[in-house]
Amino acid sequence: MGTALGDLTSDDSGLGYLGSAAFFYALLVVLGGLTMFTKISRVFLFWAAFILTRPLGATLGDFLTKPVAHGGLDLSRVSATMALTMCICAGVALASKAAGSHPGEAAG
C-alpha cells in the first residue's frame, strides 16, 4: 500500500517525486507536533507515522532511480542505496548528538 500511495501522490496528483516526498514529510512533522502538544494516543500516532514512512520511502526511492525525463535522478539501485544509507547514518549521528542526558544520570 505504501508504494501505491506514493505512486498516487507523485504520478497522479501532479506533485512529482519531491513534492510528494515533501507532502509525506510534512504529515510526519504534523504527527510529531501532535505527539508533543496534544494528548492524542501515542500508540495511534506511532502507527500513523509508521504507515507514512512507507509512501515516503517509495517516493524517495523513485526519485533517486527514475529517469531524469520522468523527474528522477537516474541513479543505479546501488548508488541510490548508498545515498540513502549515508543519509540515514547522518540522521542517526545528528540525533544522537542532540539527545539530552538520561534522567537518572548525575549532571556533571
The whole-angstrom separation of Cα 90 and Cα 84 is 10
Q: Which of 67, 47, 59 is nearest to 22 (CA)?
A: 59
106 pLDDT higher than 70: no
Task: Record the pTM.
Answer: 0.79
Query: What average pLDDT is seen over the chain?
Result: 89
Give me the residue spans of the domains in the chain.
2-96
pLDDT digits (tens, 9 = 90+) for 38-69: 999 999 999 999 999 999 999 999 999 999 99
Phi and psi (nearest 5°) for 22? -65, -35
Q: What is the pLDDT of residue 11?
A: 87
Report the largest interatomic distance among the alpha carbons of the chain, rounded to a whole angstrom. Answer: 57
